C-alpha cells in the first residue's frame, strides 16, 4: 500500500472537486467555504487563486476555455480568469438551505451538479444536468447530500453517492445517453466513514473518499473493496487522477467544523495528498457547448 504524501505546503478549510487539467499539467480544486478556485503546477510549484462572491461547490473546464461553475445561487459560465460571463440557471433548491456541491462532466460533455440539503431533515437535494445547448434539467431527486459523481469507462453507468445516507448509487445509461432507474451499488455501516467524492480508473473501479473514515477505497464494478489507503486525517472529501501517466491520485481533505483538539491531533487536515496507483485513471471530460 502506497503511503500518501502531502502535495505542497497548503491547508484549506473545505477543499473539494480536484480536477486535473491535462492541457496545462496542473491541478485545480475549489475551497468551498473560502469561495475560491486554486491552481497548482506540480512541475513549477506555482500556486494561484481565483476568488468569487459565493461558494463554488464544483466546477468543470469548458472546451471553449474558462469554467462552468455550480455556485450557491445557480450555475454560471466564466472565463479563465474567473470573471462571470453569464448565468446558465438558478439553483432549483432553496439556495440558503442547499448550495451546489459535487459535480462533473459525462462522456458526452454534459455538466452534472448536485445540491446538499443542509437541514438534513429529509432527502430534498437534487441533481441537475446542463446540456450542450445550456438547457438545465433536474434529473434525480431523493438525495440528502449529492456527491461521488463518476462515469464508467464503457459509458454504461453513472455513479453517485449520498454522503449523509452512507450509500453509493449507480444509474444505467442507455444508447441515447439517457439515465435509467437508479439502484444501490454499495451501502456502508454507520460510524465507519461515509462515501464522498470519487473517480473511476480505466478498469472501471470506483475510488471513493471515505469522509469521517480516514481512508480511500477502490471498489470493483461488482462492489467489492479491492484496496484501502489510510490517511493521517479524518475527512477526505474527493479524489481525482492526474499526472502525465494518470497514475497519481490526488486527494482533497477538510478541516471544517474541527475543534482545536482534533486539529492538534490531525494537523494536516485541509491538506492535499497524493498516492501513486498501479492503474491509470480516467481523464475528466471538458464541458462542451454548441
Alpha-carbon distance 237 to 267, whole Å? Answer: 16
Kindly give the parts of the chain with pLDDT less than 70: 1
Residue of 39, 48, 3, 46 whose CA lies nearest to 18 = 39
289 assigned to some structural domain: no
What does the pLDDT read at residue 2?
A: 77
Q: How far is CA 83 from CA 66, 94, 209, 240, in A?
A: 9, 25, 31, 25
Catalytic residue among 102, 106, 162, 196: 196
CATH classification of the domain holding 252? 2.120.10.30
What does the pLDDT read at residue 144?
A: 98
What is the tens place of the pLDDT at every residue in 2-40? 789 999 999 999 999 999 999 999 999 999 999 999 999
202 assigned to some structural domain: yes
286 assigned to some structural domain: no
Q: Which of the 8 DSSP states describes residue 13?
A: S
Per-residue exposure over 184-217, b if at least 16 CB sit within 10 Å of its own CB, e if not: ebbebeeeebbbbbbbbbeebbbbbbbbebbbbb
26 assigned to some structural domain: yes
20 assigned to some structural domain: yes
Reported pTM: 0.97
Q: How far is CA 245 from the centre of its chain?
A: 21
Give me the count of residues in the chain: 290
Q: Is 196 part of the annotated catalytic residue set?
A: yes
Q: Give kind and range of the element (H or E) at residue 263.
A: helix 260-265
281 assigned to some structural domain: no
Percent of the chain scored above 90 by pLDDT? 98
Determine the structural domain holding residue 269 and report its residue range. 5-276
Split into its structural domains, the chain has a count of 1
206 assigned to some structural domain: yes
What does the pLDDT read at residue 1?
A: 58
288 assigned to some structural domain: no
Amino acid at each position: 500500500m502506497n503511503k500518501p504524501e502531502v502535495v505542497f505546503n497548503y491547508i484549506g478549510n473545505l477543499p473539494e472537486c480536484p480536477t486535473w487539467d491535462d492541457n496545462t499539467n496542473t491541478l485545480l480544486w475549489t475551497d468551498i467555504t473560502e469561495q475560491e478556485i486554486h491552481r497548482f503546477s506540480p512541475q513549477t510549484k506555482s500556486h494561484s487563486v481565483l476568488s468569487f462572491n459565493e461558494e463554488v461547490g464544483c466546477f468543470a473546464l469548458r472546451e471553449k476555455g474558462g469554467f462552468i461553475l455550480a455556485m450557491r445561487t445557480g450555475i454560471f459560465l466564466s472565463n479563465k480568469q474567473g470573471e462571470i460571463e453569464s448565468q446558465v440557471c438558478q439553483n432549483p433548491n432553496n439556495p440558503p438551505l442547499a448550495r451546489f456541491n459535487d459535480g462533473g462532466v459525462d462522456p458526452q460533455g454534459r455538466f452534472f451538479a448536485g445540491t446538499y440539503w443542509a437541514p438534513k431533515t429529509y432527502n430534498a437535494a437534487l441533481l441537475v444536468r446542463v446540456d450542450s445547448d445550456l438547457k438545465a434539467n433536474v434529473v434525480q431527486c431523493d438525495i440528502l447530500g449529492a456527491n461521488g459523481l463518476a462515469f464508467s469507462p464503457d459509458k454504461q453507468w453513472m455513479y453517485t453517492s449520498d454522503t449523509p445516507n452512507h450509500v453509493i448509487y449507480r444509474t444505467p445509461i442507455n444508447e441515447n445517453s439517457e439515465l435509467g432507474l437508479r439502484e444501490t451499488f454499495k451501502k456502508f455501516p454507520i460510524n465507519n466513514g461515509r462515501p464522498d467524492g470519487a473517480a473511476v480508473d480505466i478498469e472501471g473501479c470506483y475510488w471513493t473518499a471515505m469522509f469521517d473514515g480516514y481512508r480511500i477505497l477502490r471498489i470493483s464494478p461488482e462492489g467489492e473493496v479491492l484496496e484501502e489507503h489510510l490517511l493521517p486525517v479524518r475527512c477526505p472529501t474527493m479524489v481525482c487522477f492526474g499526472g502525465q501517466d494518470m497514475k497519481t491520485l490526488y486527494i482533497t481533505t477538510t478541516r471544517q467544523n474541527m475543534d482545536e483538539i482534533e486539529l492538534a491531533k490531525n494537523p494536516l487536515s485541509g491538506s492535499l495528498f497524493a498516492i501513486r496507483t498501479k492503474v491509470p485513471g480516467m481523464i475528466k471530460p471538458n464541458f462542451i457547448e454548441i
